[in-house]
């Protein structure tokens, strides 16, 4: 059967920036094995597959695969798929949707869609699962060795190394400077044992750059992604880390995370954290996406 697909660059307004994503449309009859094979063929960090919604009041059911397996939720595929579906709706009806609901294995994702100057469309989604802390986490020495850094590059005093999960586990390591983040290199021989920690450890080294802005990278070699250009699911989990370490006050807090710069694919992810009665009430991530190419294949 002939399958249509669209690729988009997510968390950017510029083609060739952000995190590339492939979205395959009309996938109701595809098997898990076929989706995994197609994902490996695209050879991107993630590929999204659009299926009919399980309930009629939702927009679509979306499955997300990495080269090694399926994810229950990931930010850049959800944002990118929402923008692509919004573009299709606009082309077919002449109007832009303002809201949609995408079902993913983790749950329903409420999404707000908006047009932006220059033609880019932005999507902001409510994360379906609030981040939870996992333990244990690798120590400072282990993280430094795995990233080919010195222990002095890691600033674990105010923000200790922690692992949080908003769909998949991510280890957060605060580094002392943007330069420290840029110097990080994966040392696979010193990477963390899945047997020891119970899950494939993905590492998100970051540095605070002032006024609610952070500079970050994402390494997930055990998931077949040596480095990711923009990771919405990690940023969703980052909300738990920030709240735990910074003791955020009541209300809504906003942050901008720069990622992908060291890969030549600069990205910006917007994070909104809502605190109520001292607890994490809601997490929203968002950004823009631009379509890059479209085509079809037979499977």
In terms of domains, do 191 and 120 share one? no
Nearby residues of 166 by Cβ (< 8 Å), 6 or more positions away: 73, 127, 129, 130, 131, 132, 233, 236, 237, 239, 240, 283
Is residue 46 flagged as an active site residue? yes
Whether 136 and 104 map to the same domain: the answer is no
96 and 184 in a common domain: no
Please check whether residues 23 and 167 belong to one and the same domain: no
- Its domain, for residue 117, covers 2-127+288-298
The catalytic residue among 41, 46, 247, 272 is: 46
Q: What is the per-residue pLDDT across 157-199, written as a single tens digit (0 to 9) for each?
A: 989 999 999 999 999 999 999 999 999 999 999 999 888 888 8
> Residue 13: what pLDDT?
93
* Strands 2-10 and 19-24, sheet pairing: antiparallel
DSSP symbols for 124-165: EEE-SS--EEES----HHHHHHHTT--GGGB-TTTS--EEEE
| Number of domains the chain contains | 2
Q: Which residues pair with 268 in a beta bridge?
A: 258
Q: Specify whether 26 is located in the same domain as 89.
A: yes
The CATH number for 75's domain is 3.10.310.10
Same domain, 104 and 235: no
**Residues 109 and 155 occupy one common structural domain:** no
pTM of the predicted protein model: 0.93
**Residues 24 and 139 grouped into a single domain:** no
Provide CB contacts within 8 A for 139, sequence distance 6+: 161
The mean pLDDT value for 53-65 works out to 94
Q: What is the per-residue pLDDT for 220? A: 93
- At residue 203, the pLDDT reads 97
Q: Are residues 169 and 206 in the same domain?
A: yes
Same domain, 83 and 142: no
């Amino acid at each position: 059967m002939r399958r249509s697909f669209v690729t988009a660059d997510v968390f950017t307004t510029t083609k060739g920036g952000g995190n590339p994503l492939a979205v395959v449309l009309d996938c109701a009859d595809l098997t898990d094995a076929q989706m995994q094979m197609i994902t490996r063929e695209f050879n991107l960090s993630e590929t999204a597959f659009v299926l009919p919604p399980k309930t009629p009041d939702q927009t679509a059911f979306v499955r997300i695969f990495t080269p090694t397996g399926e994810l229950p939720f990931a930010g850049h595929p959800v944002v990118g798929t929402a923008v692509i579906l919004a573009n299709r709706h606009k082309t077919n009806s002449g109007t832009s949707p303002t809201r949609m609901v995408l079902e993913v294995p983790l749950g329903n994702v409420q999404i707000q869609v908006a047009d932006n100057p220059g033609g880019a469309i932005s999507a902001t989604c409510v994360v379906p699962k609030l981040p939870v802390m996992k333990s244990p986490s690798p120590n400072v020495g282990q993280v430094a060795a795995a990233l080919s850094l010195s222990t002095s590059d890691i600033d674990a005093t105010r923000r200790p190394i922690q692992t949080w999960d908003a769909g998949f586990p991510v280890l957060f390591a605060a580094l002392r400077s943007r330069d420290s983040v840029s110097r990080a290199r994966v040392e696979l021989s010193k990477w963390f044992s899945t047997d020891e920690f119970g899950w494939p450890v993905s590492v998100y080294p970051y540095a605070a750059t002032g006024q609610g802005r952070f500079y970050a990278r994402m390494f997930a070699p055990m998931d077949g992604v040596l480095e990711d250009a923009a990771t919405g699911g990690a940023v969703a989990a980052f909300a738990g880390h920030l709240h735990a370490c910074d003791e955020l006050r009541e209300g809504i807090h906003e942050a901008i995370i720069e990622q992908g710069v060291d890969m030549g694919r600069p990205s910006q992810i917007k994070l909104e954290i809502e605190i109520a009665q001292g607890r994490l009430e809601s997490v929203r991530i968002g950004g823009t996406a631009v379509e890059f190419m479209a085509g079809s294949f037979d499977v």
